[in-house]
Amino acid sequence: GENVEQHPSTLSVQEGDSAVIKCTYSDSASNYFPWYKQELGKGPQLIIDIRSNVGEKKDQRIAVTLNKTAKHFSLHITETQPEDSAVYFCAVGVANAGKSTFGDGTTLTVKP
């Protein structure tokens, strides 16, 4: 089955700095790469996603880049704010597989 590795497991940055979280995957048939943000006491929320025919996608301060050859994709958060503090999960999906496989999560702390 699909194996998804996410790094780092914890990340601490100063407010205003950038944060980068990276995921690698094993199944070359994977074609969907979402990122979720989970705040304390809540369910994960989709914040950005990318499909395999695109190399980069941006939405205001967040961006995702995909390298299909190397089988890795990354979440980039610029100008971090304290409200960005949360657990971030990458996930990988394959059409018709019926599920997404999640990484183990990264706890991001943004210090004011």
Partner 1 sequence: DTAVSQTPKYLVTQMGNDKSIKCEQNLGHDTMYWYKQDSKKFLKIMFSYNNKELIINETVPNRFSPKSPDKAHLNLHINSLELGDSAVYFCASSQGFGQTYGYTFGSGTRLTVV
Instruction: Please identify, among the stretches 20-28, 63-71, 73-81, 90-98, the one whose residues bind partner 1 according to the rule CB under 8 A.
Output: 90-98
Kindly state whether residue 104 participates in binding partner 1, applying the rule CB under 8 A: yes
How near is the Cβ of 16 to partner 1 at its closest, in Å? 26
Kindly state whether residue 28 participates in binding partner 1, applying the rule CB under 8 A: no
Given candidates 7, 20, 32, 63, which one binds partner 1 under the rule CB under 8 A? 32
Kindly state whether residue 102 participates in binding partner 1, applying the rule CB under 8 A: yes
Kindly state whether residue 88 participates in binding partner 1, applying the rule CB under 8 A: no
What's the CA gap between 38 and 26, in Å, rounded? 24
